[in-house]
Structure 1
């Protein structure tokens, strides 16, 4: 566990951050030594918040480039019709709040027997030194951060990582069988949605669904995908799962909400390996279904783990939010306003230069070990909480990093 924490601390800031500004645009030089907030009498220097905020900005920009192909219009969009606040403004405010919580966690560390070991301190010092050496003077100036402040942020993030498990343990969080048990099924869905679809096309699709159903009834164990493709090459079967016990609260039955009520009603009346007698017709299409396992152990184990993680993240987030509310926190707004996140002022991780392919030599008895690289993507489990508050996006658990909707 200590080794994992050490790696997390090292990789968080060990990379190079490059600063970029559009032509004709600049930013005022920040004074990272100024106090941007106090938490129970402890000063938070602007440099620490600046570095954390730029990490979030860099990660979000990289994500947009990878998935959207562009990151030109993220931060300058207004967050609401009744406000002039931008997503960049929200990111700054949220970054400060995240750092404030980390300072509170540092206060609470002794209560949970959490401390930084000599190995932790050495790894953090090494990472901070590497970070300062790897980045240009221009970038360090834009970040307004000192090496000591880099170490401070790494220490805070490492404590946050270490304190997560003992805090969550206090919650005695469990997942009941009723919450976890999953039923799996296989189905073919033939869509009839769309304003331009004709009655004749719907009729054809229904006939195709019936053909698939008839063949599945002949052999319920058959490969439903092969049967479906035999009817129309564009069709295929997929496997789904839902919570076995029907919840009285529809909002809690998250394993079932992805499927139409008409489909679930039929499935709940089937036995293992049984194909539904009839096509299931919904507002959006036709379904052919087979119930595979009422109690699927693998799907249940996966669901239990997902629910456990989600509940733990929520508990940790709620607990730290409560501590923040109870703490004596004072923000220095005029200092915070000097930190800006805009589309005209970006921080990026440089794209690695491709290495030309070379012939692979024959392996000898003493092959040179390959350095580990996977840990570059590790980040503290709880560090993802309370980042930029932005429009709703998909969420795995707790408060993960949400990002503004891209404008095309």
Structure 2
């Protein structure tokens, strides 16, 4: 699950660099907000460019909002606290700490790509600039946008400039990826679609998944064979059998080596013609299976997969080019040492945990400032 989640998160971070993210304080002093007075302080420096806390704050909140809408329904409200294993330094990380590290990486990338814009003939058109202006206004006028801007003292001009940097970086990245000339063959992209019903040979006991004994497994096999005969005789359809087994969806589309039922299942399906029902019950990874091949080459699924694989190849090409540029820079750069962790700690991706610690820190700052003023007077 970690690997899948990290892959999805990486895609989402990459997508945020596109102009599509630009949708939906003003009077507060720049850099001073309701949750921090450190908005103008330098969060980190990379390739000679400084990134302030308020810039990191804005990007983090844009990411957080996107992830909330994407993951909360699947992984629950506490998905930010999910265990993501250990980082490159062997330190345990939650999904929140993992994401915050990736955000810094994206901000670094944005700096590098903006510097490469002239070399790749990329610039913002008048229409692009207008879009950034309108998007910044839209964000400023939205309830969530105003909240974020007030938190760290962002001005509308800050948001507009940040959107311009995101858009220009995305143009450079797209230009580099286009130079990969990536191609994907039909065999690479092929996805097959089947109907299948699984008769499980596992059971849950005391919260633990256990394999059935030989007698229980034999009973399951007989049940599957009986169901297959009912389909073959025309008494029932495979979908009706699936419904009786508690299935809500019998479809599965998979590329080579990706079927939930395993490679042996894929091998048997490959022997069939489109529309054929497998003449025997198959013993697969999840139990005994009845299956029907809908399409060995599902045109719609294959076309979609071809786009995904092409994007993956282009992204690998881009990453290779980017790493070549930054190899020397990153040799002496460290997330732990070069990012002001005290400042970065103020940014909470999980809004539920956002209030107490940040508010306490702000009160301390305000108290110190008041004391200093009193001494001056």
TM-score by length of 2: 0.68
- Cα 1:101–1:288 change in 2 (3 A) is same
Matches of 1:77 and 1:184 in 2, distance apart? 32
Measure how far apart 1:324 and its partner are.
3.1
Superposition CA RMSD, Å: 4.0
1:329-408 correspondence to structure 2 within 5 Å? 333=338, 335-340=340-345, 341-342=347-348, 345-346=353-354
SS in 2 for 1:112: coil
Contact 1:188 1:237 survives alignment (8 Å): no
- CA–CA separation in structure 2 for the residues paired with 1:308 and 1:334: 34
> How far is the alpha carbon of 1:98 from its aligned partner?
0.8
Deviation per residue, 1:232-280 (Å, 9 max, x gap): 453577233444xxxxxxxxx44x3432233223223333443333211
Q: Is the 8 A contact 1:212 1:228 kept in 2?
A: no
Q: Which residue of 1 aligns with 2:136?
A: 128
The match for 1:275 is 277
* 2:231 counterpart of 1:224: no
Query: Which has the larger helix fraction?
Result: 2
Q: Structure 1 unaligned runs (5+)?
A: 17-25, 244-252, 348-408
**Alignment-derived partner of residue 31 in structure 2:** none
Residue 250 of structure 2 corresponds to 238
1:303 counterpart SS class = helix
What secondary structure is seen at the aligned counterpart in 1 of 2:182?
A: coil
- Report the equivalent of 1:285: 287
> 2:92 & 2:239 partners in 1: Cα distance?
52
Q: Report if the CA contact (8 A) 1:106-1:156 is conserved.
A: yes
The yes-or-no answer on 1:54 pairing with 2:65 is no
Work out the CA distance in 2 between the residues paired with 1:205 and 1:258: 19
TM-score, normalised by the number of residues in structure 1? 0.64
Closer, same or farther: CA 196–28 of 1 in aligned 2, 3 Å: same
Larger RCO (CA within 8 A; separation ≥ 6): 1
Distance 1:314-1:189 versus aligned 2 partners, 3 A rule? same
Determine which of 154, 161, 177 is the counterpart of 1:145.
154
Summarize the Cα distance change of 1:228–1:174 in structure 2 as closer, same or farther, 3 Å threshold.
same
Query: Whole-Å Cα distance in 2 between the matches of residues 86 and 290 of structure 1?
Result: 42
Deviation at 1:157? 1.4
Q: How many residues align?
A: 318
Query: Helix, strand or coil for the counterpart of 1:36?
Result: strand
- Unaligned runs of at least 5 residues, structure 2: 1-14, 26-33, 204-209, 356-377
